[in-house]
Amino acid sequence: MLRLMHVHAHPDDESSKGAATTAKYVAEGVDVHVVTCTGGERGSILNPAMDRPDVLANIAAIRREEMNRAREILGVRQDWLGFVDSGWPEGDPPPPLPEGCFATVPVEDAAEPLVRLMRDFRPHVVTTYDENGGYPHPDHVMCHKVSVAAFEAAGDPTRYPGTGEAWQPLKLYYHHSFHRERTQALHDAMVARGLESPYAERLEEWKPDPEHAARITTRVPCAEFFPVRDQALLAHATQIDPEGAWFACPLDVHQQAWPTEDYELVKSLVDTEVPESDLFAGIHDEAEKITA
């Protein structure tokens, strides 16, 4: 059985980044494991309908319940690394991060529980965020650092003794879920249908970046699983407003205008050629040898 591990910073990230890819691979029989680094305890309540004192007082427990629902919808197994959300530092200059939060833990220490999970689950493919965290939230940047460190260490039997037998994942990818090319395509498709696009103002300020666009190596066709992605998103009721920007582009328009989720192949220990349309390109034969 092929195995895929997604490493994310907060509950809801697994549903907003690569969830249709996840649902596609689950439907194909791939064993998918989501790792959530923090509990999202310091996350804002982004759905007005959930912005209530009782929700705020129980945000940690509620976000765990939301994660459980999303996990069931996506059909994955899921583990928490157990670190505390760092929050989004607001101010100029930004204030110091809270003591003991995820982003303040030494990378070498924070990688240990992830190495343990990698050695236990033995993924063939690992996904995470790029060096900017996808966006510069401290926990997203830290998630990147920890994921890369664990990917490098998991296969080395001299590293992290006592965390299980060494296992080397074969491919490492970065998510590139939200990029200008995709946003432009959705905008153009909505305008062509006479719909009001929510992306016009952002696109005016968002200058083309060919260097960043060239980083995308792998586009996974998964449009038929966008409805599953949307259900998983809605499970995170504190974070996702059903009437908000997440659903501004009609589903059928999105499926036709941009039917893939997009990734950057960062490291591969198997032979593969880019561009790819499959995170397991080059792995199928290799995985058979490993598991034989």
Q: Note the pLDDT tens digit of each residue in 105-161.
A: 999 999 999 999 999 999 999 999 999 999 899 999 999 999 999 999 999 999 999
105 to 145, 172, 277: CA distances (angstroms):
11, 23, 36
Residue 288 has pLDDT above 80, yes or no: no
For the stretch 10-54, pLDDT in tens is: 999 999 999 999 999 999 999 999 999 999 999 999 999 999 999
Q: Provide the whole-model pTM.
A: 0.95
pLDDT band at 290 (very low <50, low <70, confident <90, very high): low
Q: Select from 108, 138, 111 the least CA-distant residue to 35.
A: 111
Residue 291 has pLDDT above 60, yes or no: no
Residue 289 has pLDDT above 90, yes or no: no
212 to 93, 114, 178, 180, 243: CA distances (angstroms):
28, 28, 11, 9, 31
CA distance 9 to 200: 29
> Residue 218's beta-bridge partner residues?
263, 276
Residue 201 has pLDDT above 80, yes or no: yes
Greatest CA separation for the chain: 60
Q: What is the pLDDT of residue 292?
A: 47
Structural class in CATH, domain 3-177+216-291:
alpha beta
Query: For the chain, where are the alpha helices, taking DSSP H only?
Result: 13-16, 19-27, 53-57, 59-74, 107-121, 138-153, 180-192, 200-205, 210-213, 226-235, 251-257, 284-291
For 174, phi then psi, to 5°, come to -105, 140
Q: Select from 118, 113, 106, 131 the least CA-distant residue to 266.
A: 131
CA distance 8 to 35: 6
pLDDT band at 284 (very low <50, low <70, confident <90, very high): confident
C-beta separation of 153 from 115 below 8 A: yes
